[in-house]
Structure 1
Amino acid sequence: MTTFIFDVLEDLHSKSIDLSHLTFILPSKRAGIFLKHQIPQVTQQTAFAPDIISIEEFVEELSGLKSTSNTELLFEFYDTYTKLTPVSEADTFESFSKWAQILLQDFNEIDRYLIPQEKIFSYLKAIKEIESDHWSLEKNQTEFIKNYLAFWNKLHVYYTHFSKSLISKNIGYQGLIYREAVENLESYIQNNASKQHIFLGFNALNTAEETIIQELLQNDQAKIYWDIDAAFIANPKHDAALFTRQHKKNWLFFEKNPFNWITKNYTKDKNIQVFGIPKNIGQAKHIGTLLKKIIKEKSSLSNTAVVLGDENLLIPTLNALPENINALNITMGFPLKSIPLASLFEKLFYVHKSSSKTFYYKDVIQVLSHQFIKPLFQKDSKNYASSTIETIEINNLTHVSIEKLKTLSEGFSDYIDLLFNWNISTESILKKCSELIFIIKAYLDQDKDTNLLSLEYLFRFNELFNELTRLNSAYNHIKDVSALFSIYKELLASETLDFQGEPLQGLQIMGMLESRVLDFETVIISGVNEGILPSGKSNNSFIPFDVKIENKLPTYKEKDAVYTYHFYRLLQRAKNVFILYNTEADVLTGGEKSRFITQIELEGIHDIKHQIIAPQVPAINRELIVVEKDNDIFEKLKNVANKGFSPSSLTNYIRNPINFYYQKVLKIKEFDDVEETVAFNTLGTVVHNTLEDFYKPLVGSFLSIETIKELKKDVGKTVSYHFSKTYKEGDIQKGKNLIIFEIAKRYVSNFLDLEIESLKEGNQIKIIAIEASNKVEINIPELDFSVKLTGMVDRVDEVNGITRIVDYKTGKVDQSDVEIVDWEAITSDYKKYSKSFQILTYALMMQKSEALKFPIEAGIISFKNLGKGFLKFSKKDKEGAWAKKDTLITEETLSNFKEQLHQLIVEICNPKIPFTEKEL
């Protein structure tokens, strides 16, 4: 396969033109590397290399102006804006930057297409007056109307002042540089009469570029080579040749000179395969699969390119590449915004955008736990970032002050100041960011070999903050953290970390625009969806569509044609083409395949193989976890048994033995997070502790209505006290927490009302025990070690001579939850019988401790179902509404339960029965 660049060089060489004396002008710098590489293939003589430059470099040379960054242009434009706008009417820099970017793009387009400035700005002003229902003719115009029309009146003034200011500093944006280049063209032609320019690979040209190239052609100082196929240019409706047809038709030069070149490469045999794949990650994975197949067939990836229509696919694609790729070149840089360090500064800016004196705990935790920050707080064997986070979680600190953070971090108050004390000038903020970078660098320097990549990250961010410092020092437009954050994001979005690779060898990974002028034998194009290729009808401009048409400015039609050309040009000389698109409907890009795919299918030139690829997801049969009880585990089980099985731990085993193993044997606790909203277990603890405080002094005495009424007076105070103890420093004064606080008071108050109603009905209630702690040994003949039961009963009382064991539940419990039909099911059906199991275990413990006399009752008081009163455990003789219920717990009842309990504990402690996970 010969490339377009080689064909151009071969043609020049065949005409005996000395390549050394030529100036090659290409659409991009990257194409120049390939051109320089192919010169030795054309000429065998030793010679100096020709000048090879991009069109932007050539135009800069013509204009005498240097291109500058978009961010610096924004600062320069704000200078113009503030000089021409009264202080009282001027936007802040942050507000200005949001609309000024669009206006700068419009200035750029107006200049690149050499539109008379005064004419188009006057035209825009007149249109806005008409669109505004002749606001300009209103007698009593509001301030809004005046400001709106004044903005359009000032556009030409803004433009004139801004462009003159830039020219005086010898800098400019692309459009201004092009306009100035055209102004200087005549002088350049006269001063470089013997210089020959070779333009190659161009397609869409703006008016300034057309003017420059045509003038050089007319003065016999240039040659131009187009790269277009006959299949496109012969079809008047094919957008791949939209611009080329216009150039061929409209340029006077081609009336008497040949049009080089119209080739016939596209119609040659090609292997074109189209793959519809779900999601972007699926595309990246399939790229890896295709590359493996190519390596297997050709043993190398030379002359192979992966072209990413959506450049966000870069990282997934790199992760999906086969491991045996030796030579690789990535023309796109790694976006700085995707680097871990970017998340740190983004979080710091976000934290300081508000002027609050305290910081939300999640923000603090994200900063302190960041991979670049946490190691800085290490001292001896203790990490003070971790201990600070732990204290925040334990004490439910939803908002934390700087003073509190300094106290918690002990000797690291300087770092806390650096991270959180930003309520100062912009200069100081930038200085703090730079200081932080150098502190992190000092830490990483301790192990340079391991941290080379991280140090590279730091270097690039140091450059970024140096640029911010320079811009702020030169212009002084950044007045607060919010404005600084906006400019930081603007700079960050355009910065990349460049890859090192082999520009001329192996696999090439590039974006669509970087493929200009280049040819590859095998091409993989991803992201070929509507909204990506082409990008669709976006119009980010102040210039209306009809005005653009009138002034021959590009619209979405021309933008689509540019992508059409690049897409088809990749296919022209390629032999193997793999086109990938996303089949899934996404919010922004849709799930529709690109019109380009439909077009090549309908053309009928090539046999297109179209497949919908589903990712190969292996059927993974999840194996339940099984843990054999070795000697070590069995010894730990003995210790658990000796300390005592609680009712909740036993029901946990019934629910899922593996959870019992994690919590009781391995001692793995669940992660405790900060409770922003009071958790349900915290609410239960508060209610339990409040009732304990109320009833503990009444143990051994009969309740009276007067006593309960006195307790009601202290509900608010006591609940508040226990919230402060349990919820620590969490805020219960507002929002959901205040509602839950009121619910806790209502639970307690309603319970006391229930007691009063019961006493009014003539019931005699005597408190026997409150929060009665029990630890009893039970005899299990099958086990040769001690087994105990342990637990705390919320309340034991005596009502009309019958002893009751009462368990409080803040959740909802129904009568059916404490009824049992089949004794054998009590240790197997967690969902149905767990509550019955718990209260019977309490009853058994109380009996073993000889604290009760039969008959007794046991049950639950549900605070969410208080209307049902005391829900008694009952044994039913059968299922159904008419079944006979026995609510008294006798020795026979406990004997039946004890038999099931013994079997359960024997199973738990049997070394031959492993802990086996239940499929829930």
Structure 2
Amino acid sequence: MQQVTVIDWSADFVATLKRLLLEAHGTELRDVLILYPHQRPQRHLQEFLAQDPEVPKPLFLPEGLSINEWIPHLRQEMDPRPLRTVSLLDRAGMLFDIVQDLHQSGEGLLSRLPVEREHFYPWGVRLAELLEEFFRHGRTPANLLHLSGEVQPMAAALLEQLAAIHEQYEKMLEAKGWTTPGRDACFVASHPEELVAIAKEKQIWIAGFYALTGTENAIFETLWKADAARVVFHTDPAIVDEPDRAHWTCKEHLRWLKRWGAKAELTDLAVSPRTAPRPDIQFIEGFDLHSQLRELEKNMAGTDGHDTAVVVPDTSSLMPVLHHLPDKDINISMGYPLSHSNLHRLVDIILRLQETSQGPGRYYWRELINLLRHPYIKMLTPKGTVPLRAILREFEKAIRRGGKYLNPLEWVPQTENWPDDADDAFKTAQLEGLHEVLRACCTAFESVNSLAGLGDALLGVADVLLPEDEGSSQWHKFPIDAECLFRLVKESIPTLTDSQISHDTYSPSVLYSILRQFINRERVPFEAEPLSGLQIMGILESRLLRFSHVHILDATDDKLPGSTAYDPLLPEPLRRELGLPDHRHRSLVSAHNFHRLLAGAQDVCIYYRNGEDGAGALGGKSVRSRFVEELLWEEEKREGHLIEPGTGPVKTVSFPIRGIPLRETEIEKTGTIQNRLLDMLHKRSLSPSLLDSYLRCPVMFFYKYLTPLKPLDEVNEAGDPAELGTIVHDVLHHFFLPYRGELTNLSTLDPADLQDEFTRRLTDSKFFKQMPWDMREGLNLSGRERLRRFLKNQGTTTILKLEEKIDQKTPIGDLNILLQGTLDRVDERAGGITILDYKTGGMPMPKRGIWTDIDFWDDIARGYEQETADDELLVMLAEKLPSLQLPLYAYLYYLENGVVPANAGWVELRTEGMESELFSDADSEEIREDAICEYTPRALRFVLSHMLKTPVFTSTPGHYCDWCPYGFACQKQ
């Protein structure tokens, strides 16, 4: 019996395999078949044969197949029936029929659970994958009983009848003439005589396998024992003579030899085995991925990328890695998740448009904006025109000014929104281009009720993205996006449209769930060509390949070996009960791939994060991989002490830590800005809100009053506080108008009329109709209750004025400033005149003791008179007197009527309707008169003087920055 050949795992496996082939077969390689775990080594073998000057050319190359490619060929030769390899969708649909029959039989847990097609699909997919795994391992499942309470009810019911489901599944596949890759493997393994007869036609090499499935083991053992195949390991050479000293990750190879009763021999043809006992390993510890990438970029600088691999265990990190690598020839050899692509985002937006709509032609405004802003849509160019970006911007503006739901096809651009040189043909092409997008992404999905219809609708989206005029296409600039679109069109959509259940009727929620699951499963493969240059690959893609320089990124335990996703159908503890490999087996396979890659390298940089939280709410702290811990432990044993981060081979990446800067912005007041300010002060009246805006933040004042910038329009789904305030003011004015000039106990009035008028005005308002039902009800009921409380707390008073407009001029230097305000209510009470201002929001109360702080007001007077602006004094005034509104109302009333008000106050309408007064009972009449007639004008003059004298507008950061509509324009965020 022949032996198993071992290639030292520090040697180049593919180059050594080439020598073994030439030694065994010379240049007659046309009948040689090499079986690999994956296709990548065959490409390297072809490259080595092509570049070897000692190999005569031309040469018939050996055939190289992965085991998954070879098995269907074998099955076809053994069983020439035209069996159809059935898709996962069809398998899930077939399992539904089986489970439904078992449900109707009235036995077991399954008979007591609802089995509905709409809700079964996720279970059907998991069940199909589980049965496929049984096929691959050549096992027949047994029932798992008494699992109620241990797993979900449906899982317990399915596992209770797993054997019956598997039996019916096999029968149905046979009856329909269907097959699966796992069933093909099981069929081939169960026909050893036919297998050997077919294999004798080729000279087979089984190259580089590690852990085998049950069917792979049966097939390979049959071939090996019949002397029809030669087996080559790439592993620790110690398994040949000193198996007890072999690396622990080679356990599967030792078990393999024991199962077969085989002996291993070490080849003496190994190419470039390492003479040093171990590679030079450097550990680089960063806080997050960005710190790792910064160090990778530094380590790669000045290198040509030859014989170098960057291993990325997490495919979601591919894009950041590419952005940090030097500008060299880079080859990607890994699968990129379609779920991380811009295409997935577009599909998700399209689905959410339907999920959030209120029926045909009633689309949610925010999702429409997400569609218009997608980069694929913005780059579309109708024939003979320019990209749709301009018309999309105008459409977005119209959406933001409209209602919560709208029909996008009804929008027509206004004449002034077109470019001046736009002719009718241009306008027609642009509008038709927009409508084509909207029909493909919105209308086409409205009536979809089957997988076939969903696939056709997606194909319509692809047709829009791929114009017939190839000259206008820009996809060549975005190769990854183009590959993702190709994958969707060639793989996902045909799967949806061509299955046996494609025309069955499903609800939209089920259809969208199926589509999302399929997209999440899709991987866009990148097969690097040529093989030279810097190689970017995953840990699986690195199998059997050798690189002198290796960089392994993000080597955390949740990536290497990787965490196992929870399986609700068959949790990990139950896998061993059914004889299936569990997470320990997968960890062993990952460990062997990791250590084999390191064994052949000269220098290795392992990057990992140690500090950033893991994914999810319960992700915990990211920790370095157990494989890294093992390597560090070996290093510590050699050095005889513990290695601290930042010492020895462990390098830490740190960034300078600085305090978080405040969002301070300075805008120089140029001559143009000063002229615009003077023009504003000359020509318009100044309201207290304008002065308060400057007092709060000069930069906000600049953007609001001296620039054309406007806050971004938004559809007010949660209500419009400003409009609500207007409604409350109008309702109160209308209610109190009949009592003006009469001494009235307002608290005795019936609140019903006030409440009913509020409800009528509220329900007629535009913003109220856009709010959700529960918020509408809450706002109406709470508003009515607050008005009732407000009226109850009013007491006896004489209302003199309601919504009284006052304007007075006051000199400020060379300017005669017109001040204007609206007094919500003026009452005459026992103490004198009281000015009231209704507040549905917060109340900016002055600091206690401000009216008796004579030194402060003297400073304010000096600040007005000095030639330069005093920024510190402005900040101090804003802290002590956050709003000039109420004092100014009292001052304006004094200027117009010659009577000093006794008090002023805010009426807080948010809760109880109580009054918060400007002056306390301890403030004497003299203090009140000084505050209104002396201190308020000083504050007014100081603010206006500062506005005119300051050379820069400086922001004043505060809690209001969080909702400032101009925050986006600040230089430091």
Tell me the TM-score normalized by structure 2.
0.79
Equivalent pair of 1:464/1:491 in contact (CA under 8 Å) = no
Residue 300 in structure 1 maps to residue 311 in structure 2 = no
Opposite residue 802 of structure 1, the aligned amino acid is G
Equivalent residue, structure 2, for 1:879: none
Equivalent pair of 1:685/1:726 in contact (CA under 8 Å) = no
CA separation of 1:207/1:266 partners in 2, compared to 1, >3 Å: closer, same or farther? farther
Compare 826-835 and 839-848 and name the one that shifted more. 826-835
Equivalent residue, structure 1, for 2:428: none
Equivalent pair of 1:811/1:864 in contact (CA under 8 Å) = yes
- C-alpha deviations, 1:577-613, integer Å up to 9, x for none? 1112221341347522222112222335877712333
Q: Tell me the SS of whatever aligns to 1:9.
A: helix
Equivalent residue, structure 2, for 1:151: 161
CA separation of 1:8/1:383 partners in 2, compared to 1, >3 Å: closer, same or farther? closer
Equivalent position to 1:758, from 796, 800, 807? 796
Equivalent residue, structure 2, for 1:138: none
Query: What is the total number of aligned residue pairs between the two structures?
Result: 867
Equivalent residue, structure 1, for 2:665: 625
Equivalent residue, structure 2, for 1:807: 837
Q: How does 1:110-259 map to 2 (within 5 A)?
A: 110-115=134-139, 117=140, 121=141, 124-125=142-143, 127-128=144-145, 151-152=161-162, 154-165=164-175, 168-169=177-178, 171-173=179-181, 175-193=182-200, 195-230=202-237, 234-235=243-244, 238-254=247-263, 258=265
Equivalent residue, structure 2, for 1:106: 130
Equivalent pair of 2:789/2:913 in contact (CA under 8 Å) = no
Q: Cα distance, 1:469 vs. partner?
A: 4.8
Equivalent residue, structure 2, for 1:693: 734
Equivalent residue, structure 1, for 2:18: 9
Equivalent residue, structure 2, for 1:45: 56
CA separation of 1:231/1:191 partners in 2, compared to 1, >3 Å: closer, same or farther? closer
Q: Cα distance, 1:788 vs. partner?
A: 2.5
Equivalent position to 1:601, from 632, 635, 654? 632
CA distance in 1: counterparts of 2:916 and 2:265, whole angstroms: 102
Q: Cα distance, 1:528 vs. partner?
A: 2.1
Equivalent residue, structure 2, for 1:349: 351
Equivalent position to 1:311, from 298, 303, 315? 315
CA distance in 2: counterparts of 1:394 and 1:371, whole angstroms: 23
CA separation of 1:590/1:898 partners in 2, compared to 1, >3 Å: closer, same or farther? closer
Q: Which runs of 5+ in 2 are unaligned?
A: 1-9, 77-82, 414-430, 640-647, 861-872, 959-973
- C-alpha deviations, 1:293-339, integer Å up to 9, x for none? xxx2xx311111111122221122122223x22x1111124332222
Equivalent residue, structure 2, for 1:917: 955
Residue 447 in structure 1 maps to residue 510 in structure 2 = no
CA distance in 1: counterparts of 2:276 and 2:632, whole angstroms: 13
Equivalent residue, structure 1, for 2:6: none
Q: Tell me the SS of whatever aligns to 1:225.
A: strand
CA separation of 1:176/1:265 partners in 2, compared to 1, >3 Å: closer, same or farther? farther
Equivalent position to 2:705, from 661, 664, 676? 664
Equivalent residue, structure 1, for 2:943: 904
Opposite residue 51 of structure 1, the aligned amino acid is E
CA separation of 1:107/1:895 partners in 2, compared to 1, >3 Å: closer, same or farther? closer
Equivalent residue, structure 2, for 1:431: 456
Equivalent pair of 2:313/2:538 in contact (CA under 8 Å) = yes
Opposite residue 463 of structure 1, the aligned amino acid is K
Equivalent residue, structure 2, for 1:26: 36
Equivalent residue, structure 1, for 2:807: 775
Equivalent pair of 2:689/2:885 in contact (CA under 8 Å) = yes
Equivalent residue, structure 2, for 1:652: 693
Compare 494-503 and 258-267 and name the one that shifted more. 258-267
CA separation of 1:892/1:485 partners in 2, compared to 1, >3 Å: closer, same or farther? closer
Opposite residue 422 of structure 1, the aligned amino acid is E
Equivalent pair of 1:525/1:578 in contact (CA under 8 Å) = yes
Q: Tell me the SS of whatever aligns to 1:108.
A: helix
Equivalent residue, structure 2, for 1:613: 653
Q: Tell me the SS of whatever aligns to 2:167.
A: helix
CA separation of 1:194/1:436 partners in 2, compared to 1, >3 Å: closer, same or farther? closer
Equivalent residue, structure 2, for 1:861: 907
Opposite residue 679 of structure 2, the aligned amino acid is N
Opposite residue 832 of structure 2, the aligned amino acid is I
Equivalent position to 1:490, from 517, 520, 523? 517
Opposite residue 808 of structure 2, the aligned amino acid is V
Equivalent pair of 1:651/1:834 in contact (CA under 8 Å) = no
Compare 672-681 and 146-155 and name the one that shifted more. 146-155
Equivalent residue, structure 2, for 1:639: 679
Equivalent position to 1:58, from 62, 66, 70? 70
CA distance in 1: counterparts of 2:957 and 2:102, whole angstroms: 73
Tell me the TM-score normalized by structure 1.
0.83
Q: Tell me the SS of whatever aligns to 2:790.
A: helix
CA distance in 1: counterparts of 2:912 and 2:574, whole angstroms: 74
CA distance in 2: counterparts of 1:552 and 1:865, whole angstroms: 66
CA distance in 1: counterparts of 2:197 and 2:772, whole angstroms: 82
CA separation of 1:726/1:772 partners in 2, compared to 1, >3 Å: closer, same or farther? farther
Compare 422-431 and 408-417 and name the one that shifted more. 408-417
Aligned identity (percent) is 21
Q: Cα distance, 1:401 vs. partner?
A: 6.0
Q: Cα distance, 1:562 vs. partner?
A: 0.5
**How much is the aligned-residue C-alpha RMSD, in angstroms?**
4.0
Equivalent pair of 1:80/1:161 in contact (CA under 8 Å) = no
Opposite residue 601 of structure 1, the aligned amino acid is L
Compare 227-236 and 791-800 and name the one that shifted more. 227-236
Q: Tell me the SS of whatever aligns to 1:795.
A: strand
Opposite residue 431 of structure 1, the aligned amino acid is D
CA distance in 1: counterparts of 2:356 and 2:699, whole angstroms: 46
Compare 19-28 and 796-805 and name the one that shifted more. 796-805
Equivalent pair of 2:155/2:569 in contact (CA under 8 Å) = no
Equivalent pair of 1:441/1:455 in contact (CA under 8 Å) = no
Equivalent position to 1:272, from 277, 281, 285? 281
Opposite residue 652 of structure 2, the aligned amino acid is I
Equivalent residue, structure 2, for 1:675: 716
Q: Cα distance, 1:495 vs. partner?
A: 2.8
CA distance in 1: counterparts of 2:796 and 2:927, whole angstroms: 20
CA distance in 1: counterparts of 2:552 and 2:934, whole angstroms: 75
Equivalent position to 2:893, from 833, 846, 857? 846
Q: Cα distance, 1:370 vs. partner?
A: 3.8
Q: Tell me the SS of whatever aligns to 1:533.
A: helix
Q: Cα distance, 1:558 vs. partner?
A: 1.6
CA distance in 1: counterparts of 2:916 and 2:661, whole angstroms: 46
CA separation of 1:228/1:671 partners in 2, compared to 1, >3 Å: closer, same or farther? same
CA separation of 1:460/1:729 partners in 2, compared to 1, >3 Å: closer, same or farther? farther
Equivalent pair of 2:475/2:482 in contact (CA under 8 Å) = no
CA separation of 1:240/1:319 partners in 2, compared to 1, >3 Å: closer, same or farther? same
Equivalent residue, structure 2, for 1:502: 529
CA separation of 1:181/1:594 partners in 2, compared to 1, >3 Å: closer, same or farther? same
Equivalent pair of 2:93/2:124 in contact (CA under 8 Å) = no
Q: Cα distance, 1:245 vs. partner?
A: 0.8
Equivalent position to 1:787, from 817, 820, 829? 817
Equivalent residue, structure 2, for 1:742: 781
Equivalent pair of 2:609/2:622 in contact (CA under 8 Å) = yes
Equivalent pair of 2:681/2:817 in contact (CA under 8 Å) = yes
Equivalent pair of 1:644/1:788 in contact (CA under 8 Å) = yes
CA separation of 1:482/1:891 partners in 2, compared to 1, >3 Å: closer, same or farther? closer
CA separation of 1:610/1:107 partners in 2, compared to 1, >3 Å: closer, same or farther? same
Equivalent pair of 2:337/2:520 in contact (CA under 8 Å) = yes
CA distance in 2: counterparts of 1:451 and 1:799, whole angstroms: 79
Opposite residue 599 of structure 1, the aligned amino acid is E
Equivalent pair of 1:308/1:510 in contact (CA under 8 Å) = yes
Q: Cα distance, 1:847 vs. partner?
A: 4.0
Q: Tell me the SS of whatever aligns to 1:425.
A: coil
Q: Tell me the SS of whatever aligns to 1:100.
A: helix
Q: Cα distance, 1:792 vs. partner?
A: 2.0
